[in-house]
Structure 1
Amino acid sequence: MQIISTQYGELVPQHTSDDLRKREILPVEFHGSGGVKSVPLENQTMIATPAGDIPAELVSFHENGTINRIFPLNGKLSGYWSQDDEAGLARPVTLTTPIGLVRAKVLSVSFYDNRSLRSLTLWPGETLSVPTPAGPVEARIGVSFTPEGKVRSLEPAKPVTVPTRAGEMTAYDPDAVGVNGDANSLVFDEDGKVCQVITTLTKLTVVHPDGHTHCHIPETRESLCSEAEQEVVPMTVTFTRDAVSVSTDPDAAPLVLPREGHVFFAEPHLPQLANPFVALHCSV
């Protein structure tokens, strides 16, 4: 055991293990410059941050020594210790955020290297009401902020219709994975306009300069639950100042169309209505 000195006080790295939650001793990691990169802690330790005091079992740092991410819990999931077991130890934390005072169970809290809050990652089942430029939205998984404190992105807890440069689109990703809340399905630009939507419930029609039209819709794939069923693959639509990009295949490069000369129309797309008697068990 060697105590690690940081801008946030002295931290005691993990140096023992147990048979359930911590089945191995994790190493302290360092940046190439020699500064500490991450420290798994022997005991949950309260860390004072600009967002408030946060209990930590794992802390990572930027190269300048400021906190990158705090994990209140850091148990190892296994056949002996489940996510439900770990969730039983989670306690709500109260944080000062750009959207006001928040009290929620968090998987992690991330900061920029200037100490401003970057993102909150919520425990599965937790939701948070977020005021956005498109109105209040109930978020799951996480919400991220710009360094200036504006809402950058969030993961809608249920399908939500938002205004875009192509008209109203429904943001929701049934396949969203709650690894962290840094990047999400509904994204806003610096002006507060929607600049990216991940959707299974919107069709995008493009009118090309020569007058012909093409419709982009979410594709389908064989369901992970049953070979006899199909499920919808979320489609990503991104708006920039000069172009609109559409991605219907996560393994392929997106189609990029210049805004000049093209016209874009969004409208509802309900793929499950093609076969209304078969429920989609794995997605929406």
Structure 2
Amino acid sequence: MKTLNDVAVLAGVSKSTASRALARPELVAPATLQRVVAAAQQLGFVPNRAAQGLARGRTGIIALVLPTISNVFFVPIVAGAQEAAQTAGLQVTININPLTNPEDIARYQRLSQEVDGILLVAPHTADEVLASLNSRVPMVMIDRELAGFESVSVDSASAFAELMVGLVENGHQHIAYVGGPENSWQNAQRIAKMSATAASCAAKLEILGPYPPSLEDGFAIAESVRETGVSVVIPYARDLALGMHIKLRDSEQRAGKDSCTSGDELEVVGYPTQPMVQVDGLLIGETAFGLLERRIAGSQDAPSVLRLPATVLWT
């Protein structure tokens, strides 16, 4: 196996110069860099990125901290971050931490000593807890905002408001919003935006919840939502929508109604036959990693607060 010393000898430079050329090419004269790269290619030498990182005081690893692995919303975010990190020559480690108690905070602090940066998904953690985190490395929040912190989120509130306007234009005047988990930052943003939109459209908006965004909870609350007398319901997440649809369709079939033609059917937004809000999770992960990579490289710019658009799909 060829070594860095073999590359240096063939290129006619010192071992330290060869190392610098392969790790920090901007610090080496173009002619020297060309000789070192040519020698490495001729010998089939592949630099050890981990060793290079340790030499610069880095691990080559970033952490993606998630509150749970049960929420499918996080899957494309993870994929987007991993793909971007791989392109940059870094590895992503997944860490499950809801940040709900002192031990969780202690685990987070230990993690921050073992990685180059952290992508933090903490949608339900209290602001004061997040503000108290003493991260030793750069950190970017995903899908929530907090003053003084870098973040990437989705403007789902505006999409939900757009959805409401369209439903009102289609004849719905009494609408329910089935809210997500307690303390959810996105849930609070949506409620504020939808309430303002309902007032401007002269529509009645029922705020229900909070509820966990699960199929089981959608199934459990479906009948109570029907009893509110609304004509359409906008759930916080698609799993809630699917659970409600299954329960309502089952109830109608048991009652001998045709769920496709029943005039008093409660419409559930987010199920494939109804409009839905689409979020590009891959883009969220890629964008968040881009901000983190910039910080790891030493950027001292003011924290960026990015809101990516969500799309309303009318079926």
TM-score range, shorter chain: under 0.3
Q: Give the TM-score of the pair, scaled to structure 2.
A: 0.22
Q: Give the TM-score of the pair, scaled to structure 1.
A: 0.24
* Structure with larger RCO (C-alpha < 8 A, sep 6+): 2
Structure number with higher strand proportion: 1
Radius of gyration: which is bigger? 2
